Structure 1
């Protein structure tokens, strides 16, 4: 049921081992291509998949099956107990989804990944898994609106509370919030929509001295532009709906376990208490998650307790679309980031634009962090504030012709949205103000159109608004 060895991946679908139907889920395992000499572009096409184990299919097959034959009673019992590896039910593991998980784990530099139905499923499962049983979280106020809403008004219904800070890069401000029951800090590598950059290395170093985990949402930058695990992040989450899929045609999310954090350090009893779901009661074998999945206990618990019991499953068809998106991720990220910077620089010169928020600009206070962590580009998202009032924002939204008015980011199409009314509507006004979100703010997600066409579209829309 759960794979602890990358070696099992190769050839596990060939005729000689056909009884295993497909390679086992990837907890604790790596991808089939893991050579550090291979560059990102190559691994984005090949990692986590062996075509010779799938009848030579160069495209990952869509295993559109709810369940897989267990063949006989003994094998079914062994699969269920975890004594042998394999697939039995697609809620917990599917070969198409597994290939996507392996590829993402490889590209992020983690040891294991769990794919989910949406980005908010990934955020929620990761935070709940870390804080379950009454733990506390720490987070900045300049996050995606649904993440703020979950921590501010929803998680408290489950006994999980969040201490918010105005500046996640003020290490002293974060450290003073740590309590005996603090479990994790949650931040975005590049904030949506302000593009503020989290200075991950000193934050991770401080948290690890206290035995507190760092969970990073890497949606905006994607693993092509930035890999938080390399700087000390313990868990990485994505809305793969965005840049990873890249075409606006499928929802998805993923949780990546770095394999580096000690979840048995005393702050996380859910990883050290014995669990029936990873034990064999009849044989008197009792284990906890740290024992059952020593390489990736966090991914193990997310899959076995959260995915299995709450059921936010990524469909095989959506996993296939995410894999197709990954194949062009480097090229799309490069072009979108270059165009975003060009547009941000242009907007700084446009009448009626009060301020442009893009950390790649020389005028940005975060430019040193952009140079440190994201030398290949900050990503496709930027925002700008207009003079006047909300009516001017509405006129721009209604006047654009190339940009699409869509609440998404990271798409091949360029998108525009007014965050205060759409993506951050549920955020308390005090938090919106701290994040720079007000009625005069517009957020852009830059796609693959010609930069001059996008600039001309914004120019005519802003001129029309005034």
Structure 2
């Protein structure tokens, strides 16, 4: 696409980053199923390895199919660049990797996906990193948690599993005042519903496995760079601001400017961590993104219909969908996600843990899976699965109490979804 007019989201989700294949004229982005690329000559190879020229070396680092996906997601998010990787969990580590050192910490929301809580509370300790979990609705608590060793603040735009909406602008202001980047996981919202960078986020991460692909076929992750953070403003980020020994003293921030984080994530992150996205996964995700806006509109419409019905059902204690007027987060929708509150939420079943298990086992249209963001409607009992490894206190804080189930509302007929829930609730609460 040309750099001329400013295109709308629906156009960009189809065209951004993609051009007809110069060799064949193929209109759809080909799957470049190759590990390596032939250099023009020795001088060309040396320039690529010295980061003096941009190009393809080896598919652990860069691949033409993946490159199109990176450009498309970066464009939709309003970033200057992006790096795709093997999963959403990989994207989180990729986002933190250039920022952290042993002894450093990240301040994270208590309302996060259970796997993220485990990754931050347990796994990153092996790198010498740590995490402080704070209620992001309490801005003073976030400020107090940030110390001299904090290198990032991390939250979700629409939190999994409860669908809670984060006041991204307020959290960004706190992070900015402390001189640290804000990382927002935008998986549940997608760039169609929420644009974290415009609200002050430095980096945006995605599990592309979810809504961006939308069909439950491949795993993937992405880190989008806003290009707006000054990595040289302090000595907190030496990987970005100080000489890099592996590249003869090159300074990423000085050499690449707004694209410093993106280049570092490829040249160092993918090179050494190897969390590579394969080109076939990129191809499936590119096809999924082509219909993102259409799917998200139906997801939101169905979620509102189903959540309203559940809220009025006497067998249900409460519903956490932020789109409902009763939600304490409904007031944030116009500023954070003006096109809707997504399609992920929880509801509490009268009868507790046992009733939840019966409900899950009695559904016919809803699929009982450890996934979200599919065209199909999905359900899971988080306390016995995705959040099972957490303490009861952590489960409560994350919105995954034993009497709660999480639903990801798909794009089926809403009446069919309600009828399926109705018959399953009857069996679960009999």
Same fold by TM (over 0.5)? yes
User: What SS does the corresponding residue of 1:187 show, helix, strand or coil?
Assistant: strand
CA deviations 1:41-100 (Å, max 9, x no partner) are: 000000111215353211000000000111422222222112222211000000000000
In the other structure, the counterpart of 1:296 is 259
- Aligned residue in 2 for 1:28: none
Q: 1:61 aligns with which of 30, 37, 40?
A: 30
The 8 Å contact of residues 168 and 201 in structure 2, kept in 1 or not, is answered as: yes
**Corresponding residue number in structure 2 for 1:395:** 358
Supply the distance in 2 between the matched residues of 1:272 and 1:108 (Cα, whole angstroms).
25
Deviation at 1:171, TM superposition (A): 1.4
Distance 2:2 2:116 in 1: 34
What secondary structure is seen at the aligned counterpart in 2 of 1:314?
Answer: coil
Given that 2:310 and 2:319 are in contact with CA atoms closer than 8 Å, whether structure 1 keeps it comes out as yes
Q: Is it true that 1:356 corresponds to 2:324 in the alignment?
A: no
SS in 1 for 2:136: coil
Q: Distance in 2 between matches of 1:379 and 1:310?
A: 32
- Decide whether the 8 Å contact of 1:79 with 1:88 is kept in 2: yes
Q: Distance in 2 between matches of 1:133 and 1:92?
A: 25
Cα distance in structure 2, aligned partners of 1:36 and 1:374: 25
Q: Structure 2 CA distance, aligned partners of 1:352 and 1:173? A: 36
* 1:46-195 matched pairs, under 5 angstroms: 46-51=15-20, 53=22, 55-165=24-134, 167-195=135-163
Q: 1:442 aligns with which of 395, 405, 408?
A: 405
Q: Is this contact kept in 1: 2:114–2:398, CA < 8 A?
A: no
Is structure 2 residue 285 aligned with structure 1 residue 322? yes
* Equivalence for 1:269: 238
2:341 corresponds in structure 1 to 378
Aligned to 1:235: 203
Cross-structure match for 2:309: 346
Contact 2:366 2:377 in 1 (8 A): yes
Paired residues of 2:112 and 2:156 also in contact (CA < 8 A): yes
Determine whether 1:458 maps to 2:426.
Answer: no
Task: Tell me by how many angstroms 1:265 deviates.
Answer: 1.9
Query: SS at the partner of 1:442?
Result: strand
Q: Would you say 1:223 and 2:191 are equivalent positions?
A: yes
Alignment of 1:410 with 2:373, yes or no, is yes
What pairs up with 1:243-262 in 2 under 5 angstroms?
243-262=211-230
The equivalences for 1:11-22 within 5 A come to none
Task: Indicate if the aligned counterparts of 2:317 and 2:347 stay in contact, CA closer than 8 A.
Answer: yes
Q: Considering only aligned residues, what root-mean-square deviation do their CA atoms show, in Å? A: 1.3
Question: 1:323–1:33: structure 2 CA closer, same or farther, 3 Å change rule?
Answer: farther
Any conservation in 2 of the 1:124–1:150 contact (CA below 8 Å)? no
CA contact 1:278–1:292 (8 Å) conserved in 2: no
Measure, in 2, the Cα distance between the counterparts of 1:435 and 1:258: 28
When normalised by structure 1's length, the TM-score is 0.89
| Alpha-carbon separation, structure 1, partners of 2:114 and 2:412 | 27
CA distance in 2, matches of 1:414, 1:394: 17
Q: Distance in 1 between matches of 2:304 and 2:69?
A: 30
Q: Tell me how far apart the structure 1 counterparts of residues 23 and 220 of structure 2 sit (CA, whole Å).
A: 24
Normalising by structure 2, report the TM-score: 0.97
Distance between the aligned counterparts of 2:168 and 2:399, measured in 1? 21
Distance 1:269 1:248 in 2: 39
Worse overlay, 300-309 or 351-360: 300-309
After TM superposition, give the deviation of residue 177 of structure 1 in Å.
1.2
What is the rounded CA distance, in whole Å, between the counterparts of 2:416 and 2:112 in structure 1? 30
Deviation string 1:224-262 (CA, Å, 9 cap, x unpaired) is: 111100010000000000000000001010000000011
- Is 2:274 the counterpart of 1:311? yes
* Residue in 1 that maps onto 2:177: 209
**8 Å Cα contact 1:139/1:162 also seen in 2:** yes
Aligned residues between the structures: 428
Q: Deviations over 1:379-416 (max 9, x none)?
A: 12111011113211111111100101111111011111
- C-alpha displacement at 1:35, in angstroms? 5.3
Task: Determine helix, strand or coil for the equivalent of 1:447.
Answer: coil
Q: Distance in 2 between matches of 1:276 and 1:94?
A: 25
Aligned partners of 2:238, 2:411: CA distance in 1, in Å? Answer: 47
1:376 Cα deviation after fit? 1.1
Contact map agreement 1:278 1:289 (CA 8 A) in 2 = no
Q: CA deviation at 1:36?
A: 6.0
Encode CA deviations 1:436-461: one digit per residue, 9 max, x unaligned: 21211111111111000000000000
Unaligned 5+ segments in structure 2 are none
Could you tell me whether the CA contact under 8 Å between 1:404 and 1:414 is conserved in 2? yes
